[in-house]
Structure 1
Amino acid sequence: MTNAVKLGFGPLSAPAKGSLVVFCDDGLKFGPATRKLIGAAADLVQRAAKSERFTGKAGSSLDLIHPEGLKVARLLVAGIGKRSELKDFVRLGGAVMGKLPKAASEATFVAELPDGPLDAQQAADLAQGARLRAYTFDRYKTRRTNDDAKGDKRSLTVAVADVAAARRAYGAREAVIDGVLMARDLVNEPANVLYPAEFARRTGVLKKAGVAVEVFDVKAMEKLGMNALLGVGQGSAHGSRMVVMRWNGGKKGEAPVAFIGKGVCFDTGGISIKPAASMEDMKGDMAGAACVVGLMQALAARKARVNAVGLVGLVENMPDGNAQRPGDIVKSMSGQTIEIINTDAEGRLVLADVVWYAAQRFKPKFMIDLATLTGAIIVALGQEYAGMFANNDELSARLTTAGEETGEKVWRMPLAAEYDKMIDSKFADVKNTGGSRWGGAITAAQFIKRFVDDKIPWAHLDIAGTGFDSRQNDVNRSWGSGWGVRLLDRLVADHYER
């Protein structure tokens, strides 16, 4: 099963067991409540700090086992550096959680800094970071260490000045955390378990939160004319699916916001088969779809005051006698014809039909698609930023701000007619690659743009570098990151709720 810490809030008091975490600045100064709480152990900290050369700088810690004068088994002193420079309490919570061993099954964080107690919002952020960091995915391990087993039962209490206020502040954050962890679970699953029909089945859990879920099978998509999507999956034994999820938390009849996810449950490259090295990572080629599902869970669980739709196109790209070939021409749902140059440029084909369907059916306020689309975006941006392409400056600016606030950063990339010419086809309306290595992430975005109504604000997020096997950080040590859930939830909360 997935390890996740059980979290609660309590008053500013010393626990009788487990681990106690307190914070100091780079002058080894504690807050007044913390100083009173640890009592004589404060002198022990001073002595140990001198011998260990611990100065309280940001990211450092001092670990004391069975500290004299306290009943706890461990006292962890976490340095924050200069108080004026501490802004990100989510990251702080994750960093400190990472310093506790799994064997530390019970822990208490004293939510106080040298200048006084954290407010309810800061304490809730601290708790959020700790829960995100505590996640692990080990449900398929049959041989587990004692520490792994203890990790299943970890509990954390955040000691705060105002327990009721902290609980209220944490409520919305808990919904978002659960959405992130749901997305991580989906990305981490192996492809023999999570094929398109099973992925679609798992979205049914959203109904408990009030989300309406529709699943379209191959026959239903054939009737809609989704030949671009269906062409990708026609070489697989597992039939393709499209899932439409609707949360109606806004005004009745008001246009929704729309999120679309690429859900390639496994990508061999098809006939244009990938090299064997690291192909196992292609189980994560549905990270965009996983994000959309996690986001819909988060919005519904926190009762977001917005109408939102999430759509995911679910396929498996396999090579067999029925697989799509380079040179094939397919007719998309939009009526545009597509020449297949490379069957490994499959995600954009899936998005072409789903984006078009979303626009025609829902006429949303905006559309954002997420896809682990191109290796080219990793070459350009590494694993620190997702590539963002947009036809609307306001939406782009809002996404950029939400990225800075959540740490899920985006960097705007260009769209231009000059790049569009690279995907003109001699035999069809458009071809699915630009025909060279240059500007690969851009031509992929230009391809999707051909299926977007320019009257609708739209952004494409290429999350190939952030969706899985990404740069690990203080709030994520998982292969599947759940990237995008916090970003898009913040976007909605800040700008689109009534």
Structure 2
Amino acid sequence: MSLPVAISFHATDAAEAIAARGRVAVLLAAEGKLSGAAATIDKAAKGAIARAMEGKAWARLKAGDALDLAWPAGLKAEALQLVKLPAKASVAEARKAGAAIGKALGADGATVVAGGHARTADLSLGLALRAYDFNLYKTGEKEAKGAVRILADRPEKVAAEAGPMAAVAEGVLFTRDLVNEPANVLTTTDFAARLAAMQELGLDVEILDEPELEKLGMRALLGVGQGSESPSKVVVMQWKGGKKKEAPFALVGKGVVFDTGGISLKPAEGMQDMTMDMGGAGTVAGVMRALALRKAKCNVVGLVGLVENMPDGRAQRPGDVVKSMKGDTIEVINTDAEGRLVLADVLWYAQERFKPSGMINLATLTGAVIVALGHENAGVFSNDDKLCAALLKAASAEGEGAWRLPLSPAYDALLKSHIADMRNSVGRPAGSITAAQFLKRFVKDETPWCHIDIAGVALPATEQPLVGPKCASGWGVMTLNRLMADLLE
């Protein structure tokens, strides 16, 4: 895949902006005298920029917001977009400004007059992320996004800064594509094939099919998928960009391509959104793509468990007991608490095979985390304060909301079963915490680990600054890419 819009960087040239068609966007400080290219463009537009900046509409804008002037006199453009962005803007404000341009982008493209702004590369990232639109299955006329020319005082420097960001953007959009796909297209087989195709980027990719999973003893994972026609799989993606003998960091993702709830059937209302229940696996895939594209100097292994949870005659029942790869037995209280069964086996396999330096798993695991944190923050659980602090710092730097929730023996005690080593569900109270406590039982004491519950952030309920309406967010790709750089590079 590639970015949804072609972005190139060129030297600042006011004359080019004045003659450009389509949309011209100009970065402007909140107030002050116009200078440089902005002043020249304003003169050509007969003072339209200066007048707009004196108005109430401009005063109400926040950093990163934009104001449109249609068919500006003296310019060839159909719209002049005034983007408020202070010289000392934050990363988030610069990306928001780029998103304002990306949202309005049409077939004729845009010319962006950035001048010497220090955050131009971040602006280009925001533009690429917001220009994304998943319209693959719309049969009507589709308008392709036109190219974007960004005019900057030091275009080579900005292009060098933007290169790694473009790799990350491609990872985010790969994740969005996966999460947005319908389940009749993104089967476990199709998902695995898309990951196998990333071998061309330099990843080593292995696909473990059901006979091999049975041989490994992954009965917890296999039990979830036994009611589906789609075969269960585990895909292992290795990026070996670091030192040869250095242990990799492991990223593990839940990949339930569709979740009916199984025999513990979900209500019909809202079930169509369960195409996003593979969001954790989607994020892991996007991170691995980003690392490969930017040639990251680290060793990382991504593992995803791909299953479909269906209510077939062969499906797992409430009351069944399954044996995990670790050897622990699990009483299945609720077949809709299936993600933790998938992760239990993949987490154990990751540790047994790779002995990772640390491990993070992601999953759209519980509705309870949405009750606790809404759609603003992912829930984070950890057995290691240092790793958790680094993760939260990376999330904050990337503007992706995350909040740590507790683990404790009191919650762990609730998992007791009268017929097996543990049960997979304890009901509604503290549901996201007890799910995390379940996963912790499959994490070795010596492995630094975080569990991230992304149920509330994978598919936001409302439009976000960098994400269009009713669209997968790709949450976590930017955070984990930064974390791998912070910890390993």
TM-score normalized by the length of structure 1: 0.93
Matched positions, count: 482
Query: In the superposition, relative to structure 1, how do residues 462 and 51 fare at CA in structure 2: closer, same or farther (>3 Å)?
Result: closer
In the alignment, which residue of structure 2 is the partner of 1:94? 99
CA distance in 2, matches of 1:297, 1:101: 26
Is 1:346 equivalent to 2:338 in the alignment?
yes
Q: Which runs of 5+ in 1 are unaligned?
A: none
Please name the residue that 1:467 is paired with: 458
The DSSP-based 3-state class of the residue aligned with 1:5 is: coil
Deviations, residues 330-385 of structure 1 (Å, cap 9, x unaligned): 01000000000000000000000000000010000100000000000000001111
Cα distance change on mapping 1:234 and 1:55 into 2, 3 Å? same
- Do structure 1's residue 322 and structure 2's residue 343 form an aligned pair? no
User: Deviations along 1:381-437, whole A, 9 cap, x unmatched?
Assistant: 011110000000011000111011101121111010000000011110010012x31
Q: Hey, what does 1:110 align to over in structure 2?
A: 113
Cα deviation 1:254-286 (Å, max 9, x = unaligned)? 100110000000000000000000100001000
Q: Say if 2:212 is the partner of 1:208.
A: no
After superposition, where does 1:294-443 map in structure 2 within 5 Å? Answer: 294-434=286-426, 436-443=427-434
Counterpart in 1 of 2:24? 20
Q: CA deviation at 1:165?
A: 1.0
- Aligned-pair identity in percent equals 49
Contact 1:56 1:78 in 2 (8 A): no
Output the amino acid matched with 1:475.
Answer: L
Question: Which whole-Å CA distance do the structure 1 matches of 2:245 and 2:55 have between them?
Answer: 67
1:97 offset after TM fit, Å?
Answer: 2.5
Residue pair 1:264, 1:316 contacting (<8 A) in 2 also: yes
What's the CA shift for 1:11?
A: 1.2
By how many angstroms is 1:51 displaced? 6.6
Against the structure 1 CA distance between its residues 48 and 126, is the aligned structure 2 distance closer, same or farther, given a 3 Å change threshold? closer
The alignment status of 1:69 with 2:61, answered yes or no, reads no
- Partner-residue secondary structure (3-state), 1:173: helix
Structure 1 residue 53: deviation in Å? Answer: 4.3
Contact 2:331 / 2:424 at 8 angstroms: preserved in 1? Answer: yes
Q: 1:209 to 1:84 in 2, by over 3 A?
A: closer
Q: Which amino acid aligns with 1:388?
A: V
Conserved 8 A contact 2:87-2:117: no
Which residue identity is paired with 1:12? T
Could you say what secondary structure the match of 2:110 adopts? strand
Query: Secondary structure, in 3 states, of the residue corresponding to 1:260?
Result: strand
Partner Cα separation in structure 1 for residue 111 and residue 172 of structure 2: 24
Matched, 1:130 2:135: no
Q: Which runs of 4+ in 1 moved over 6 A?
A: none
Contact 1:2/1:136 (<8 A) preserved: no
Native 8 Å contact 1:248 1:307 kept in 2: yes
Q: Using the alignment, how far apart are the partners of 1:162 and 1:307 within structure 2?
A: 34
Residue of structure 2 equivalent to 1:182:
174
Query: How far apart are the structure 2 equivalents of 1:466 and 1:447?
Result: 22
* Distance (whole Å) between structure 2 residues aligned to residue 471 and residue 401 of structure 1: 25
The alpha-carbon deviation at position 496 of structure 1 amounts to 1.0
The alignment partner of 1:244 has SS state of strand
Separation in 2, partners of 1:184, 1:60: 24
Cα drift, residue 85 of structure 1: 5.8
Q: Secondary structure of 1:136's match? A: coil
User: Does 2:227 align with 1:235?
Assistant: yes
Give the C-alpha shift of residue 473 in structure 1. 1.4
> What is the match of residue 48 of structure 2?
44
Cα 1:445–1:403 shift into 2, 3 Å = same
Q: Secondary structure at the match of 1:354?
A: helix
| Secondary structure in 2 matching 1:39 | helix
2:131 alignment partner AA: A
What whole-Å deviation, never above 9, does each CA across 1:448-491 have from its counterpart, x for those lacking one? 00000110100000000011244431111152111110010010
CA distance in 1, matches of 2:461, 2:146: 26
Amino acid aligned to 2:140: R
RMSD: 1.8
Q: Deviations over 1:129-173 (max 9, x none)?
A: 0000000001111123xxxx33x2421111111111111111111
After superposition, what is the alpha-carbon deviation per residue over 1:5-47, rounded to whole angstroms, capped at 9, x for unaligned?
1111111113332211012233264343321344332612234
* Partner in structure 1 of residue 284 of structure 2: 292
Residue 445 in structure 1 maps to residue 436 in structure 2: yes
The alpha-carbon distance between structure 1 residues 417 and 124, as it changes in their structure 2 partners (threshold 3 A), is same
Q: Which residue of 2 aligns with 1:225?
A: 217
Q: Residues 48 and 164 from structure 1, CA distance in 2 versus in 1: closer, same or farther, beyond 3 angstroms?
A: closer
Rounded Cα–Cα distance in structure 2 between residues aligned with 1:193 and 1:252: 38
Q: 2:67, 2:268 → 1: CA distance?
A: 45
After superposition, the C-alpha distances for 1:203-252 in whole angstroms (9 at most, x for unaligned) are 02211110000001111100000000000000011110100000000000
CA distance in 1, matches of 2:30, 2:278: 44
Tell me if the contact between 2:31 and 2:53 (Cα under 8 Å) persists in the aligned partners.
no
Q: CA deviation at 1:102?
A: 3.0
Please report how far the alpha carbon of residue 108 of structure 1 lies from its aligned counterpart in structure 2 after TM superposition.
1.1
Partner of 1:245: 237
Q: How far 1:56 moved relative to its partner?
A: 6.8
Closer/same/farther in 2, CA of residues 448 and 5 from structure 1, 3 Å limit = same
Distance 1:173 1:86 in 2: 16
1:3/1:138 contact within 8 Å kept: no
Q: Secondary structure at the match of 2:47?
A: helix
Structure 2 unmatched runs, 5+: none
Q: 1:3 to 1:309 in 2, by over 3 A?
A: closer
Tell me: CA distance 1:214–1:86, structure 2 relative to 1, closer, same or farther (3 Å). Answer: closer
Describe the SS at the equivalent of 2:348: helix
Question: Does the CA-based 8 Å contact 1:10-1:160 persist in structure 2?
Answer: yes
The match for 1:484 is 476
Letter in 1 for 2:235: V
Distance, in Å, in 2 between the alignment partners of 1:3 and 1:256 is 29
1:5 aligns with 2:1: no
1:79 aligns to what? 84
Give the aligned partner of residue 162 of structure 1.
154
Query: Quick one: which of 40, 56, 61 aligns to 1:57?
Result: 61
Q: 2 CA distance for matches of 1:66 and 1:456?
A: 60
Moved more, 468-477 or 353-362: 468-477
Q: What is the distance in 2 between the residues matched to 1:182 and 1:76? A: 29
Pair 1:288–1:326, CA change in 2 (3 A): same
